[in-house]
Structure 1
């Protein structure tokens, strides 16, 4: 069972279960708001329930059990939360609406609630019950994802140097802060190339002048070699190729 840092809202209460016979129109569920986690902030979801009185009922109870399907999970798992119990209506009401907030949701993940409803008579006995699942609040991975896509070279007029043009893109949902690109030729490191940052979903080229590589010589480039940027996937940061044939500008 997973545990998340969720803010407790209500005290837990206990009640016996009963078989469900409540009409479909007597209950409903929904999502008031689904706040997606941002940079350095956790996500949240607020569910809503509505129930109406049924014959012989004098009080209504509702309970929200949070369920999560996180990255790598094959299905939904119950999330353990503190003080997440039954919420009671006032006696004798015809309608009971409740809004339940869960905070501290991690990403990526999908969240829903199992909402349980109970109707009690004047003696406190359960006369009916029902259960529904809410819609899903999805928390996408908002980190950037840097990829190196291509390398070409241009003549500079200096026989010992080339102007290298590197293609890169950010396929993630978050903007990337400044990062470096390491560059080595034939296993020998060359000076780092600095990039000021790359917005989410954007592509760009970075040009820099360096010592000329020889035809067929192995060339390796890596985005963010010091791992300063938290990314969705670190495995696609490397571009290994051979020395590109230079073209004239």
Structure 2
């Protein structure tokens, strides 16, 4: 006899990069079987990869001719300018099986460490299995997408000016640094020529003028200026941190 009061909920945790994978089963009393659905349970964005999380859920009611139910999640990703593609992730792409003779089956999958910018969704497949192992019904659905924008900071060196210092052969360079990203940048270095300085932090959309003492360049020469040379700040764009400019000192 089917136990209409028992619904087994299984929760699976997975990551998009190789990491630990675990699942737990928790019996829950239910008065009504779950509906057949595939849903996005939660979507958490963050500048930090480990905190970018998408949780998908699939649920299915029992079938009168089936003894068990199965659910399978396949993870799909779409990057800007690309089509949806299936990608691998631990815990995805395998069938999860319910206990026998339960009123319904709910299963959750969570993936973190998501690449950005991109959107993620799950294709969820359902199967109802008879006592002899035959499949009495199949179904499938896709969840809504979890959009993951790139929230990391982006440091950009901008205007460079200079004046001669009182010390012979030394110049005071001023470099405007901008954060064109979507989150604050923590402390980073600013370099002009062989000189360097530190900036404590920089909020998104803000700019700051940093003074750097370094040997004076000669008019007509090229001088290198850059930010975050030691890569302490994880940025959305890493290749725009260095610029080469004409020596800003005027001809004497």
2:23 maps to what in 1? Answer: 9
Structure 2 unaligned spans of 5+: 1-15, 26-34
Q: Equivalents in 1 of 2:227, 2:91: separation in Å?
A: 42
Q: CA deviation at 1:132?
A: 1.3
Quick check: 127-136 or 164-173, which moved more? 164-173
SS for the counterpart of 1:172 is coil
Q: CA deviation at 1:167?
A: 1.4
Q: Among 57, 70, 92, which residue is 1:61 paired with?
A: 70
Summarize deviations over 1:108-134 as a string: whole Å, max 9, x none.
Answer: 253321101123456553222111121
Normalising by structure 2, we get a TM-score of 0.69
Contact kept in structure 2, 1:153 and 1:162, CA below 8 Å? yes
Q: Equivalents in 2 of 1:214, 1:80: separation in Å?
A: 55
Summarize deviations over 1:116-171 as a string: whole Å, max 9, x none.
Answer: 11234565532221111212223444443211011134687999765533211122
How many residues are paired up?
224
SS for the counterpart of 1:41 is helix
Q: CA deviation at 1:239?
A: 1.7
1:194 aligned onto 2:203: no
Is the alpha carbon distance of 1:211 and 1:63 closer, same or farther for their aligned partners in structure 2, counting shifts above 3 Å? closer
Q: CA deviation at 1:28?
A: 2.3
SS for the counterpart of 1:98 is strand
Is the alpha carbon distance of 1:141 and 1:4 closer, same or farther for their aligned partners in structure 2, counting shifts above 3 Å? farther
Normalising by structure 1, we get a TM-score of 0.70
Q: Equivalents in 2 of 1:3, 1:235: separation in Å?
A: 24
Q: Among 103, 106, 115, which residue is 2:114 paired with?
A: 106
Structure 1 unaligned spans of 5+: 12-25
Q: Equivalents in 1 of 2:74, 2:20: separation in Å?
A: 12
RMSD (Å), alpha carbons: 3.7
1:87 maps to what in 2? Answer: 97
Q: Among 177, 199, 203, which residue is 2:207 paired with?
A: 203
